[in-house]
Structure 1
Amino acid sequence: MLINPYLYFKGNTEEAFNFYSSVFGTEIVMIMRFKDTPEAGNVSAADQDKIMHIALPIGKNNVLMGNDMVGADADKLTIGTNFHISFSAESKEQADNIFAWLSSGGTITVPLETSFWGAYFGMCTDKYNIQWMVSYDERYQ
């Protein structure tokens, strides 16, 4: 099992991750832009080149991840609470259980289901107002 931070930015994700890359001496291993997703048609032309997902390994098993908030979501972003804790499960069953426990008494923001990138993925806010991402990806087991 892994737990990693997932950070949100108001349009400067790539700049921030280039900075973190230089600080930690590691290379960004993934960048996906909004224009490269099935949701590209729902994103304004001004936001097409913004970051939908980025990943930077730090240390042996840690990955710092993030994205740019776009549209109305960007207006709701509050610096200081602009993160999720990302939990990577070891099985689909474990993902289901953890997600059910975390979302109990909280709010499901993205139901746990197979995503367009292939991972079993969901998002929720627990009863303590902590934001979580839960995923299982058999490709990485």
Structure 2
Amino acid sequence: MKKITISTLICLVIAGGTITGFLNPTANAETQTFTGHPYDLDTITTRTINSNYIQKLRAELKKEGYNNIKSIVLEQDRKKSEVIIHISADEYKGEQTKNTMEKAVNRLAKENKIGSFLVYIKNSY
């Protein structure tokens, strides 16, 4: 009799947990990270291309004094969007460079409604 009661309780606990998971979908939902965007990826890609974002970013970084930008690589998706900026080692000043570039990248992204980005700086020797 005790085995039947214990087995029944275990089954009820498992069933209750399963039902709770289905009734509370927010517990299973993925959370939005700092970067990315809540929009359709095709819409954001089109908006990024049509706004000439990379050209605007390159011009903005030149205004900030970064004249030797080797390349800018942009990757966007719903969970994580990144910008990788390759600059000359002469212009790389560590945290100061990273902070200046992050502000420019994300200010322009906000103005163009394309989300926000993680910024990586690669310096070439």
TM interval, shorter chain, is under 0.3
Instruction: Considering fraction of residues, name the structure with more helix.
Output: 2
* TM-score of the pair, normalised by structure 2: 0.28
Q: Which has the higher contact order (CA 8 A, sep 6+)?
A: 2
Instruction: Considering fraction of residues, name the structure with more strand.
Output: 1
Q: Which has the larger radius of gyration?
A: 2
